[in-house]
Structure 1
């Protein structure tokens, strides 16, 4: 049984240097239900002469849901002026994403966050979400395993709890849980509706956790991540949303983008299927 939907995070296709229309087509051909685009790719396409209408049409024609956008604005930076500029950037980007029918935008701890405490982060995240909800795009809280602050699941839960946001959501990732020291059993304490998107990937046993980088991620099922256990937990807390394949592999050894997408879809389905 497979109770989830599957999305392609287009970081997985970065080595092929595709524009957003080409990324959408690859995801459709492979059979993905949704896609995560990067703001840098959306903006590059528009700056190069493409239009918002082109992206809208492409998504509609292939019936692919734009579930989330990967963006980098310094919403939790310790510097007030930097945060102000970040909220302005976020608002501009969310207005563009709303026109594309995008559901979520990622809010990771980007910037200088070492001097920002979690209570302050909760205030800043609440402000970000209120901006997004007025526009129609929901910011989802992401933690990074090697961040100076907001590096673990418990910290993200604290920020959500203290933010005074009803039905706030997180973006979770097993790679970041592993390198940040989060216990996967902690997922059992969540409710499915608290998860906006769940990134999927795997990691090898070597190098040791301290030496792992994004480029070391591998396809689900090819590493030592307890994917079956995670799948059972997600199903147990009634999460039935998107599993989104996010890799940063630099060289696919001669495989085409279509082959990578097809293999990736099958690896997610095989690794996250639920035993009846």
Structure 2
């Protein structure tokens, strides 16, 4: 039994230099139900003469669903000026995503956050969530293992609680749980509906959490990540949403883009199936 839905993050296809339409086509051809776009690829599409309306029609024709977007705005920077510009950027990008029909956007601790307290971050997230209310695009609170703040699952749970937003949803990633030292069992503090999306990947058994790089991420099941236990915990808390393959591999050898995408589906189902 496989209780989750399958998604592909555009980063997995970056070595092939594809435009956003080609990325979506490959994902649909391989059999994914969902796709995570990167805002930079959407902006490039528009800059090169494409329209969001036409892209939305193209997506509908492929039968795939755009489920989330990867963006980098400094919504909780310690500088008030930088933070305000980050929120203005977030509003612009959320508006584009709303036009496309994308329901969510990742909100990691991008920028200088070392001097920001978790309570201040909760206030900043609440402001970002208000922009989400206005645009209809939900910001998924993402923790980064190497961030100076919001590096662990426990910190994300705290920020979510203190934000006063009962609808806050957290973005999970086993790589960031590994690099930040998050306890997997902490997931038992969540309900499945408090998770926006789960990025899936793996990392080498010999990897040092302080030194392993994004480029060293592996297909699920090819490393030491506790994928089976993560799958079990996700099922226990009632999560049935998307598992999205997010790799940053620079060279897949002789594999084509569709072969990489198809291989990813097999690896996810094997690592996260019952």
TM range (shorter): over 0.9
Runs of 4+ residues over 6 Å off in structure 1 = none
| Correspondence for 1:226 | 226
Structure 2 Cα separation of the partners of residues 267 and 59 of structure 1: 25
What do residues 2-38 of structure 1 show as CA deviations (whole Å, max 9, x unaligned)?
0100100010000001000000000000000000000
How big is the shift at 1:45? 1.2
Aligned to 1:208, what secondary structure does the other structure show? coil
Unaligned runs of 5+ in 2: none
Deviation at 1:53, TM superposition (A): 2.1
Q: Distance between the aligned counterparts of 1:43 and 1:84, measured in 2?
A: 21
The offset of 1:50, in angstroms, is 1.2
Q: Deviations over 1:222-242 (max 9, x none)?
A: 001111111011000000000
User: Aligned-pair distance for 1:174?
Assistant: 0.4
Which residue number corresponds to residue 63 of structure 1?
Answer: 63
CA RMSD of aligned residues (A): 0.7
For normalisation by structure 1, the TM-score amounts to 0.98
Secondary structure of the residue that 1:209 maps to in structure 2? Answer: coil
CA contact (8 A) 1:24 1:58 kept: no
Residue 265 (structure 1) shift: 1.1
Residue 119 (str. 1) matches residue 122 (str. 2): no
Offset, 1:58: 1.6
Of 12-21 and 44-53, more deviation after overlay is shown by 44-53
Q: In structure 1, what is the equivalent of residue 15 of structure 2?
A: 15
Which residues in structure 2 correspond to 1:204-223 (within 5 Å)?
A: 204-223=204-223
SS of 1:196's equivalent?
Answer: strand
Partner in structure 2 of residue 141 of structure 1: 141
Residues 216-272 of structure 1, C-alpha deviations (whole Å, 9 max, x = no match): 100000001111111011000000000000000000011110000000011111111
Counterpart for residue 105 of structure 2: 105
Q: Secondary structure at the match of 2:266?
A: helix
Say whether residues 1:160 and 2:163 are aligned partners. no
Q: Does the 8 A contact of 1:216 with 1:249 survive in 2? A: yes
Deviations 1:169-204 (A, max 9, x none): 010100000110001111122110110000000010
SS in 2 for 1:15: helix
Whole-Å Cα distance in 2 between the matches of residues 124 and 88 of structure 1?
13
The whole-number CA distance in structure 2 between the counterparts of 1:169 and 1:115 is: 24
Where does structure 1 lack aligned partners over 5 or more consecutive residues? none
Q: After superposition, what is the alpha-carbon deviation per residue over 1:118-160, rounded to whole angstroms, capped at 9, x for unaligned?
A: 0000000000001111110000100000001100000000000
Specify the alignment match of 2:41 in structure 1.
Answer: 41
What corresponds to 2:244 in structure 1? Answer: 244
Q: TM-score, normalised by structure 2?
A: 0.99
Whole-angstrom CA distance in 1 between matches of 2:165 and 2:56: 30
**Distance in 1 between residues matched to 2:125 and 2:217, nearest whole Å:** 28
Pairwise CA distance, 1:86: 0.7
- 1:176 match: 176
Q: How many residue pairs align between the two structures?
A: 274
The farther-off stretch of 230-239 and 47-56 is 47-56
CA distance in 1, matches of 2:159, 2:209: 25
Q: For residues 207 and 24 of structure 1, what CA distance do their matches in structure 2 show?
A: 32
